[in-house]
Amino acid sequence: MTGKSFSGCVRYVVQKAGAEVLDWEGVRTDTVASMAADFNLQRKLNPGLEKAVGHIALNWSVHDRSKLSPQVMAERAKEYMAQMQIQNTQYLIVLHRDREHPHLHIVYNRVNYEGKTISDRFQHRRNARVCREITQRHGYYLAPDKGQVNRQRLKGADKAKYELHDAVRQALPKARTWQELEHLLLGKGILIDYKYKRGTEQVQGISFRMGELSFKGSSIDRSLSYRAINKQLEQHSRLAQLTPQVSGQHSALGHTGASFPGITTGRDAAPHPATTPIEGLLAPTTGQAADTNDYSFRKRKRKKKKRIRL
């Protein structure tokens, strides 16, 4: 997050019940007023930058609690800032204990010691990559999907992105074609925009649009890229085509079974022995059983001898 007021941001971060300043650089930490004054003094090196306040919250899973101490969390925060290119500037790292999961806050000056601006361009994308790398490198818990994200705390673009994710994932199992998927999402106020290969009608990618916000499918989740969704729709379509055939086979088998010779049900069933369909078809007529069976046996035997000679 970026903002305009160091005083308000520092007050929120430091005065939270149970807050502990873990690390800092370039600011005095005796009072909130001193911290804000030092941040504001440096921002004057670049008076044209309106939003000079940088504010980041780093959150771990509750599963990582046993792996973390305040010192370790501070080291991870500095590792994170280095990879995010937040360097050569003032900062505060403050631990909070108001939630079940371990988390801390970083307040930094977007005007560095040389008066240059620390860019926030592509920061969301870089943040996702850096957090995943640090999580995997140190063996922290990584949820298998987005199911454990606390939607209620999301705001702005992040909230919209997760709403799109949930809506598309709910609609996908009910669709067999892109047209059906479009219709299902349109009922929720979501539009699909297709990206075509230049000069052709070949689709290369998709974006989901809700209101004024639009996100590429792959940026919402890898499972929502054009290729991944198209594969799922094709599977649903094939399954839908196979289902009537399977149902028809089951129906035919049921009808044949009901007319098997020798099989009767109910109180009026005849007392003669039951036979299988094959037995019924092969059952010989009177006076022909011995000749027929003997002939078929001799015939098979002769063929076998001829094959041996050849």
For the stretch 117-164, pLDDT in tens is: 999 888 888 998 999 999 999 999 887 666 556 666 666 777 888 889
DSSP state of 191: E
State the pLDDT at residue 191: 95
Q: Which residue has the tokens 């290369």?
A: 204
Question: Residue 15: its pLDDT value, please?
Answer: 94
Q: Are 198 and 254 in contact (CB under 8 A)?
A: no
Starting at the edge strand found earlier in the chain, the sheet holding 2-3 runs 2-3, 53-59, 103-109, 91-96, 20-25
Q: What is the pLDDT of residues 92-107, one digit of tens each?
A: 999 999 888 999 999 9
Q: How far apart are CA 224 and CA 168, in angstroms?
A: 8
Using a CB cutoff of 8 Å and minimum separation of 24, what contacts does 175-180 make?
175/233, 175/236, 176/233, 176/236, 176/237, 176/240, 177/233, 177/237, 178/230, 178/233
Chain mean pLDDT for the chain: 81
Q: How far apart are CA 176 and CA 173, in angstroms?
A: 8
Q: How far apart are CA 141 and CA 230, in angstroms?
A: 31
Lowest-pLDDT range of 100-114, 175-189, 240-254: 240-254
Q: Both tokens of residue 277?
A: 């369909």
pTM for the model: 0.55
The DSSP element (H or E) to which 245 belongs, if any, is helix 226-258
d(CA 109, CA 76): 19
- With tokens 């085509």, the residue in question is 241
Q: Which one, of 167, 184, 148, 271, lies nearest residue 220 by Cα?
A: 167
